[in-house]
Amino acid sequence: MKVEYQYIESDFKHYKGVSFSDIEYKELLKNEVKDKLLDTPQRNEMISNLKALKSETGFEVSERLLIDIQYLQNPKVDVQDFRIGEAFAEVCLEKHFNCRFYWNELRDARNPKGNKTGADLVGFIEIGNEILFLFGEVKTSSEQKSPPQVMTNPTGIENQLRDLYRDQNKRCILISYIQNKIGLSKNRNFQNDFNNAILNYYRQNEGKYMLYGILVRDTDVNENDVRVSYNKLKNQILDPIGLRLLAIYVSIPKNQWLKIINGDKNVSN
């Protein structure tokens, strides 16, 4: 990853533009991003359960069981480009910006192509010696205009982050949501991060959390992609609440991303 530009007011408030080489991006798509889109740990657990059922003494194996095992063992990703952008943003935050996302929200989807509600990303960020809740919004855009409309339109990142800042009830629902997943994950680090984040969130006069806007671009680098929005939002999202905007640039067109994930050999830039 290469930092293309940045403007840092503090650890809690800044914007950055970063880029990934074609080689880096392809490796991420084929590995970490694909694992997120398939929820590989959950899929492997399901395969193990079905195989155990198949091997159970006296159990008459149905064609349905065999078909499902075959489907799970030969995974092919079938998602829209913006879902790939969301998964890539999450991977980038985890690998390079001290963020942690313990629960794959795809486990909650009854329709894998349906829209998420509340926020695109709900997790934790570590800054110095503090753990904070992270509420994030992700958009993917090939628009040549800077900033692209996904930053500024009524359903864009600017308004989504303002809404998260102003709507305490929405944040409360998101916190309840993530708390409910701790027991399901059985992850002690998840519990520890939640305990620290909730203390920092409700601390009197100093309650903190992080709002993160991530823009994924398959266009040329342009600081105006996030600079304009940041200058608006920093005067509306007030301290001590954190505000970070991140633009991620790749040169591989988004219509090639799914082909790379699924191992298509006929991929051209």
Task: Please report whether residue 151 resides in a domain.
Answer: yes
46 within a domain of the structure (yes/no): no
- The pLDDT score that the predictor gives to residue 268 is 60
213 belongs to a structural domain: yes
Q: Which residues pair with 211 in a beta bridge?
A: 135, 243
The verdict on residue 52 lying in a domain is: no
Looking at residue 34, its pLDDT comes to 95
Residue 248 within a domain: yes
The answer to whether residue 69 sits within a structural domain is no
Query: Looking at residue 147, what is its pLDDT?
Result: 97
* The predicted structure's pLDDT at residue 118: 75
- Give the pLDDT score at 58: 66
Query: Residue 267 falls within a domain, yes or no?
Result: no
Tokens of 16: 């950055």
Mean pLDDT of residues grouped by 10 in the chain (269 residues)?
98 97 97 93 84 75 84 85 95 98 83 69 96 98 97 97 97 96 92 98 94 98 98 96 98 96 75
Supply the pLDDT for residue 63: 85
Is 57 part of a structural domain of the chain? no
**Domain total in the chain:** 1
Domain boundaries, position 216? 2-37+78-261
